[in-house]
Structure 1
């Protein structure tokens, strides 16, 4: 099943011929109600109900809508692939979201070199803002800061007048507006970037309720597979027989049976510590100390520090690192105890 990637088109004319014209809703609240019925949740990692975000923004003064194409997650490539092959589906969703909330401004926030196609269908002009190549630059509050001309630093706060939507979420909005909530519930897929111990790394479209081993089968998993990191660097280690409850950022990194799960985790935690914006104690001091504890296999210290940084940062970056570390303790306990 590839209902999203099969909508690919080279230009706007081919897009319209394949997918139909941009389905303006015109009736206030129509799109928000359809999204609620469809049960669409965000595909950028937070998994928050999309309709709630639109409804909240729609009642503010001079709302702003932002397409978030910044893919700071090193193991993810889904947004780049989607925007390269289906940009018009993404832009349809952006226009429809802007219509639904009565946007005063519309932005596309993406990596350097992102090209925003000029389209005759659009009613809302799109302003492109370049995203820096950092892990935290795609966090929603950092995106809001960037479009206002400030440094893209994440904060543990949100603004109701700014709607930030991942580009995959916007593409799904466009499909729900075209085909309806019932169609979407029958074609509820997500894009997964699969890498690591697989023969065919790449981006795959899979059912929302999928077993980990299905991802490995698609990408040609190399046996034996010890574990798979699902959800990205803020994700959790799962076993091949587990079912994915929350795909997070849509990332799956397969770990071969001969690899050290603890060593892999230590490298990721060290990277995440280097990517903090150093706005608070948990990031400035807690994450480097946590990286040291993981590298030294100091289980009591790692567990203690994970508890100290979790929920205490200026943003949710420390929470994600703590989640990864706790997951490694469950998945690789024998390595921790050597």
Structure 2
């Protein structure tokens, strides 16, 4: 964890990173205050933004849900999103293991702030041990009378797009966990037609600390534009893959060193996860890991830095990721059903040395057609990854086009490209 010298208070992962049960949580953080609706203004002053990838201002989202309640007879609903569908990310699952009560504090405080009468904590059903531990934590809090709003742990289907907010809303309503078109947005009409606040679990943990320590305390870490700390997963060809808590704006090179440094020479890093962007080395090492430092070519996204070694084929890595994204889409619109598989097949042909100049021209055309045309943002992320690879690895593209496959190995942990069929 990296913290300001003025900030001796441990934040999300605590001083040791060891799991905290309820007694240890209360000993370290104390009981949560009950600011109610006043918390919204404090969160706005703190500048907290969503940590799930989009980076939307949290205070604005809280205010929007609270405003909808005044127009709506039913009480709002809070959904704590712990799905973490990005395959390279481990930050949310680590947070739920280490600081579950901080997340639960934040979820209940958010519910009180917007006037909600229930909280759903959604976690992949594939994490059976974590589901049992979280259910036990909720039961312990209920027995202690800590929470004014009931919390229910939900074992949700796990796929790449099932963590999208509208997919969770639809699943909680008894439908398939597939994204839906908007409007209406979930803050307008979500679970059971009620205004619904969907927040990433890291965001809620920060909210719990802001309620305790205030907006100015939160701003002691990070930058003026990106205050607070962030959780980042550093993976790939590093000696000690890890989840780090750090200040936004920390250079990429520093974060790689905090994960033990490169285990062998690197050629690039993938920032933001599977829907992210490749950045070439060594130039990227000085880039601050925040929205301002990575713009305009990249964004923190899901908080992932994946180090790609020189002995791996970047086109083969990109092809495997695109095949996974094509198989994991909801397949309910043209870009997802036809566009993504076609792009994945073309990049695979390029990686395997089967491409022609005509195929490359077709690939670039197809990639350009994907953004902004899907029912959700899934095709946009795949297009960003593909377009970035064709630019950053231009020399590799030329070699594969004219000399065939390089037969280099792959290095990143990409799941098999199997369709997501368990939507309910």
TM over 0.5: yes
The answer to whether the 8 A contact 1:9-1:15 is kept is no
Larger radius of gyration: 2
Distance 1:251 1:156 in 2: 27
**Counterpart residue number, 2:249:** 209
Larger mean Cα displacement after TM superposition, 53-62 or 80-89: 53-62
Unaligned runs of 5+ in 2: 4-10, 188-194, 222-227, 292-298, 351-358, 400-424
| 2:263 aligned with 1:243 | no
Q: In structure 2, what is the Cα distance between the partners aligned to 1:299 and 1:218?
A: 39
Counterpart-to-counterpart distance in 2, 1:334 and 1:18: 53
CA contact (8 A) 1:44 1:249 kept: yes
1:146 aligns with 171
Distance 1:267 1:134 in 2: 16
Would you say the 8 A contact 1:110–1:131 is kept in 2? yes
The correspondence for 2:104, drawn from 71, 80, 91, is: 91
Q: Does 1:4 align with 2:65?
A: no
Structure 1 residue 101 corresponds to structure 2 residue 162 = no
Match for residue 332 of structure 2? 279
Aligned-pair CA distance for 1:127: 1.6
Cα deviation for residue 231 of structure 1 reads 0.6
Matches within 5 A, 1:219-230: 219-220=259-260, 221-230=262-271
Aligned length: 336
Q: Distance in 1 between matches of 2:255 and 2:386?
A: 23
Alignment of 1:21-170 (within 5 A): 21-26=31-36, 28=37, 30-60=38-68, 61=72, 62-112=75-125, 113=128, 114=131, 115-116=134-135, 117=137, 118=139, 119=141, 120=144, 121-157=146-182, 158-160=185-187, 161-170=195-204
Q: Is the 8 A contact 2:371 2:380 kept in 1?
A: yes
CA distances 1:3-45 after superposition (whole Å, capped 9, x unpaired): 221166532222111101111103x3x2111111111110111
Unmatched segments (≥5 aa) in structure 1: none
TM-score of the pair, normalised by structure 1: 0.96
Match of 1:329 in 2: 390
Residues 232, 248 of structure 1: 8 Å contact kept: yes
CA–CA distance in structure 1, aligned partners of residues 78 and 174 of structure 2: 15
User: How far off its partner does 1:107 sit?
Assistant: 0.6
Q: CA deviation at 1:128?
A: 2.0
Structure 2 SS opposite 1:70 = coil
Cα distance, 1:56 vs structure 2: 0.6
Q: CA deviation at 1:302?
A: 2.3
| Equivalent residue runs for 1:180-199 within 5 Å | 180-187=214-221, 188-199=228-239
- CA–CA distance in 2 between the matches of 1:64 and 1:336? 49
Once the two structures are TM-superposed, the CA of residue 301 in structure 1 deviates from its matched residue by 2.1
Distance 2:341 2:24 in 1: 50
CA RMSD of aligned residues (A): 1.4
